[in-house]
Chains A and B, each alone.
Chain A
């Protein structure tokens, strides 16, 4: 008994203080920036891909991680961010306006999808959102006058130079992680977590479940679009296969492997799902095969993802230290 309370106090003093969390994320952001500019071109590109995926997956973390709704449509918001910003710039908009328009477009689609599918739960929600992802992928492939079909389009560079983009990516990652940390300890986050625990009960005790889910979903969509804008800028060209419908579920995979509902879960998950195959230089088939295996094993063995495994190890270590 006394051991657990000592443990809890120890954790709250040096692991869970809010200022410390934000400071930690900021330091992490600076470290990631240094890593991004100091390593060679290959590692740098892998890291950039991981960070952009971290942003997209962090968006998913709000509705799926905090709220427990298995959304498989995050890849579509990612795609709308990329295509939306690229097309808006093609139409002569300045970069900042194009970004806002892309984020608003994704948010609006999120609102519509949320309105329809918030009537469903669990498996139905997964199937419905997956189909929405497929619908968006089909439109990107077939609306040739707008998206140039499978050939894709080139993206106008919106930043001053590559250095600015290299700052923007880790900065955006850190800001989004802070946003998730912020939301998770605010009313929206608590409400989403009560929905995760028991939606009927949440409804009974007065949580406005429909509105909460909708807000969470729109926020997820907007963050997904931010990642899309960055990948379009980083790649210089975009094509529909980057945003195919299965991308949404690979993002869900990354989130579950890293730790759903945990602020750093998306970073860990993206590092494993996106970074590992690239670093090991695996062909796409073996990469996805390994990702799938890691994923199934993680879900079966550590249901809370890597973050919960780290917690277990830390708690055990703290206990050993306390005992001495």
Chain B
């Protein structure tokens, strides 16, 4: 029971971490709370489904196609909408919600509202580790998240573009003064965030179901993760994602499964009251 809760928690936490990192990246460079990320996940998941089941491509080719769709849609949201509100921080959450409405409902209009399932070749497999059993799709999710985080970390630390993104995230004006092209970093961050959303669709779709509003609730959890980790903090998001996953899993097992999401909310409340700048905040940045 205990070990099973831990295993479920790690699976859930990996998902939150994967999403939270994408959100915190776009927040860091552009100060946009990208609610539309949920819509990107939905469209990427439907693209995978369509390529796999209607167009008859193999599962992995379909996943690759879905990743491309995720990246393209995410960059489009930046080019079509967010870039016009960059200097208006109050308008950013509003536009993000509008884009979420648009993307979710494009999926609803194109593919209908039914719950359908994306089934990878390993769909029914179960991995037994000692007394706990984890479905193979869960293991795939953990591996995907771990790999994505390591690659992202290497990218941010050791490439020129990665350093540029971190510079913009620390101080956009100073970065621009040093000759970093802001526009380019914005687009790249949204591309990465879209690819992460695509990965989330690949990992999450087979575990639950694909439908137009599939990612909305999960994304709210990812926002808790981002707030816990401190907006703009990539490692904070990864660690807090895991913590929140464990917490919700324990809450679901020992208290009530129906209110699972509320445990995350409770943590968010505590956090806002006790440490409003995030768990890993340096203390210099105030909430604004």
Residues of chain A having any CB pair with chain B under 8 Å: 68, 70, 72, 116-117, 119-124, 126-128, 130-132, 134-135, 138, 141-142, 246, 249-250, 252-253, 256, 284-286, 288-289, 291-293, 295-296, 299-300, 303
Contacts and interface: CB of A to CB of B under 8 A. Distances in A.
Chain B residues touching A, range: 35 or more
Interface stretch (B55-63, B106-114, B123-131, B188-196): B106-114
B11 interface: no
B259 A138 contact: yes
Given A124-B287, A134-B261, A296 B102 contact: yes
Nearest to A115: B273
A149 to B, nearest CB: 10
Contacts of B106: 289
Nearest to B277: A124
Given A134-B261, A299-B85, A299-B95, A293 B102 contact: yes
The residue among B33, B93, B94 with the most chain A CB atoms within 10 A of its own CB is B94
Given A134-B217, A134-B220, A296 B276 contact: no
* Chain B, interface SS category: helix
Interface in B188-226: 212, 216-217, 220, 223-224
A122 B92 CA distance: 10
Contact of A119 (B33, B97, B259, B273): B273
A68 B90 contact: yes
Contacts of A293: 98, 102
9 contacts: A72-B97, A119-B276, A122-B93, A127-B268, A134-B217, A141-B258, A142-B258, A295-B101, A300-B95
A123 B91 contact: no
A292 B258 contact: no
B158 interface: no
B272 A252 contact: no
Contacts of B109: 285-286, 289
A249 B95 CA distance: 11
A126 B93 contact: yes
B64 interface: no
A299 B105 contact: no
B265 A135 contact: yes
A296 B273 CA distance: 33
Nearest to B265: A131
A117 B276 CA distance: 10
Contacts of B212: 285
Interface string B262-288: 101100110011001000000000011
Given A134-B261, A141-B258, A292-B101, 17 more contacts: A68-B90, A70-B94, A116-B273, A122-B288, A123-B33, A123-B89, A123-B231, A124-B227, A127-B223, A127-B227, A131-B265, A135-B262, A246-B216, A253-B94, A284-B108, A289-B109, A300-B85
Contact of B98 (A126, A138, A296, A303): A296
Given A120-B287, A126-B33, A289-B101, A300 B81 contact: yes
Contacts of A121: 287-288
A296 B103 CA distance: 12
Nearest to A287: B105
B246 to A, nearest CB: 19
A123 B93 contact: yes
A284 B112 CA distance: 11
Contacts of A124: 227, 231, 272, 276, 287
Contact of B97 (A128, A131, A134, A253): A253
Contacts of A135: 262, 265
B81 A296 contact: yes
A113 B148 CA distance: 37
A165 B122 CA distance: 59
B153 interface: no
